[in-house]
């Protein structure tokens, strides 16, 4: 059985950055008395700010699709800024990393407390090589019909695969 969580990486961040750059460039062109150079320069700057500063910051929570099956957990590796920028400009070329359950030492569930209600936010896998992998649950909590069942299922599944008695819960 395989379950996936969050949204898959696609070309939307790049497309939105191009649209924003074109809109700002056109607006500048009109306001600057039809000065094409000013429109091109400001449109390019807006495009670069959107695609290299704004979108990379939010990419893991917006497009952090991960999958879990009997053998492994697959996820997008966004641990460096350059990997995030590369994912925006080449979304089709971005492949998911995979980690088998044998390489996972333990895991934790990070929750948010809001209005006396505890909401799962993401899962942190602690790997044998010392790295941590954050798997976002927030997108599914907003979009899924039964988010609690998805979270319960994945927590039970990982716990059984790791033979871990309990899950450590961290509050943000």
**Please, what is the average pLDDT of the chain?**
88
- Among 1-5, 81-85, 89-93, 147-151, top mean pLDDT goes to 81-85
Among 13-27, 60-74, 131-145, name the one with the lowest average pLDDT.
Answer: 131-145
Is residue 37 over pLDDT 90?
yes
Provide the CATH number for the domain around residue 108: 2.40.50
Residue 57 maps to a domain: no
User: What percentage of the chain exceeds 70 in pLDDT?
Assistant: 94
What range does the domain containing 145 cover? 71-76+95-171
pLDDT reading at 147 higher than 70? no
- Residue-wise burial string across 14-34, b where 16 or more C-beta atoms lie within 10 A, e elsewhere: bebbbebbeebbeebbeeeee
Domain membership of residue 7 (yes or no) is no
Q: Supply the pLDDT for residue 31.
A: 93
Query: Does residue 10 lie in a domain region?
Result: no
How many structural domains compose the chain?
Answer: 1
Is residue 161 one of the residues assigned to a domain? Answer: yes
Q: Would residue 51 count as lying in a domain?
A: no
pLDDT of residue 38: 94
Asked if the model's pLDDT at residue 24 lies above 90, the reply is: yes
How far is the C-alpha of 20 from the C-alpha of 18, rounded, in Å?
5
Is residue 48 one of the residues assigned to a domain? no
Pair 18, 56: CB distance under 8 Å: no
10 Å CB burial of residue 155 (0-12, 13-18, 19+) is: middle
Summarised one tens digit per residue, pLDDT across range 97-130 is 999 999 998 899 888 877 777 777 889 999 998 8
Q: Are 89 and 52 in contact (CB under 8 A)?
A: no
Segment (H or E) for 100? strand 97-100
Q: What is the mean pLDDT of residues 30-38?
A: 92
Could you tell me if residue 86 is inside a domain? no
Compute the distance between CA of residue 113 and CA of residue 124 in angstroms, rounded to an integer.
18
DSSP string, 7-76: PPP-SHHHHHHHHHHHHHHHHHHHHTTS-HHHHHHHHHHHHHHIIIIIHHHHHHHHS--EEE-SSEEEE-
- Residue 129 falls within a domain, yes or no? yes
- The whole-number pLDDT of residue 144 equals 56
47 within 8 A of 41, measured Cβ to Cβ: no
Q: What confidence tens digit (pLDDT) does each residue in 57-94 have?
A: 999 888 999 999 998 999 999 999 999 999 999 998 88
- Residue 81, C-beta contacts closer than 8 angstroms, at least 6 positions apart: 56
């Amino acid at each position: 059985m395989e379950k996936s969580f969050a949204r898959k990486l696609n070309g939307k961040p790049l497309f939105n950055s191009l649209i924003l750059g074109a809109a700002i460039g056109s607006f500048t062109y009109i306001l600057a008395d039809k000065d094409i150079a000013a429109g091109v320069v400001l449109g390019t700057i807006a495009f670069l700010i959107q695609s290299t500063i704004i979108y990379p910051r939010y990419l893991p929570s917006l497009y952090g699709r991960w999958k879990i099956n009997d053998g492994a957990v697959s996820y997008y590796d966004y641990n460096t800024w350059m990997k995030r920028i590369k994912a925006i400009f080449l979304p089709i070329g971005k492949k998911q990393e995979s980690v088998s359950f044998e390489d996972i030492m333990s895991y934790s569930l990070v929750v948010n407390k809001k209005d006396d209600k505890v909401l799962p936010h993401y899962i942190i896998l602690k790997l044998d090589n010392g790295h941590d992998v954050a798997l976002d649950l927030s997108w599914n909590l907003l979009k899924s019909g039964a988010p609690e069942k998805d979270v319960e299922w994945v927590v039970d599944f990982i716990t059984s695969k790791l033979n871990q008695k309990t899950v450590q819960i961290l509050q943000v």
